Amino acid sequence: MNEIQNWFIKNNINIHQTKSDRYLISTIKILDNLSKLYTNPKQILDIGCGYGYNTCLLSKYFPDAKIDAIDYGKEKTKTWTKILAEIRPNIRFKFGDARNTNLPTEKYDVIIMWGLLEHLGEEQFLKYKGKMQRNYAEAQEALCLKEIHRLLKNKGILYICYLPNEKSWIENLTKHTKLYSHKIKFTPSRISNLLATNGFLPTKISYEHFFPSLYFILGKYIGGSLNRISPLINSIEGLIRMTPLKKYSQDLEIIAYKK
């Protein structure tokens, strides 16, 4: 796993994410959870794969699986080519839209999503106001979930990670600063209802990441300092997760099955 991290850092790819040891630990925890849910998946789809960092970690964790990865950011394709040439993972990258992938029906045992649902239709979102914004966002989210439902095998797993929590203290702080804040956020009830109405059975919704993991956005010095104490941060966060304060964590994590 550290080899993958070091390769991305060396190539200066998505540094805010790839430099963070805490983000790496969080991703490994997700993959560990997934391996317990599905011990030997044959076909995995990483939907909204970005530059492919998590996809590469996924391929190392499940070396016997065939992994497809899709994203609609054309600027990422050069990185994909470099990954396939140098890391040589068991991945097929594909440019495309998560709402209409053109992939085969009922192909995948597992579909994993790292911070995608909240970005669907984001370019058009601000053209609407009030209730129209929510209706537009939910229409795009439903299109994506219906497509995922089509792609999953019967009783296949959908694992949603890094979904922004509406009550997050980090999100509510950053929206008043120049730092990035998600325009679209979720509550447990909203994502649960959205999944249920689109053919999924949510079995677990948890609060994750009370403290931020992309701390290099604050600069090299602060990021490096927080990186060095990431084990301490993780320990403190483990204690917070046992208290009501967990409801103010940054992200929601969801495990759902295709009905």
DSSP structure string for 63-87: TTSEEEEEE--GGGHHHHHHHHHHT
Q: How far apart are CA 84 and CA 147, in angstroms?
A: 27
For the stretch 181-238, pLDDT in tens is 788 899 999 999 999 999 999 899 999 999 999 999 888 999 999 999 999 999 999 9
Q: How far apart are CA 50 and CA 23, in angstroms?
A: 15
Beta-strand relationship, 108-114 and 200-208: unpaired
CATH of the domain at 15: 3.40.50.150
20 within 8 A of 227, measured Cβ to Cβ: yes
Q: How far is CA 56 from CA 13, 18, 88, 174, in A?
A: 13, 12, 9, 30
The count of structural domains within the chain is 1
Q: How far apart are CA 218 and CA 143, in angstroms?
A: 35
Q: For residue 125, what pLDDT is reported?
A: 66
- Domain around 34: 2-258
Across all residues in the chain, what is the average pLDDT? 92
Q: How far apart are CA 56 and CA 6, in angstroms?
A: 12
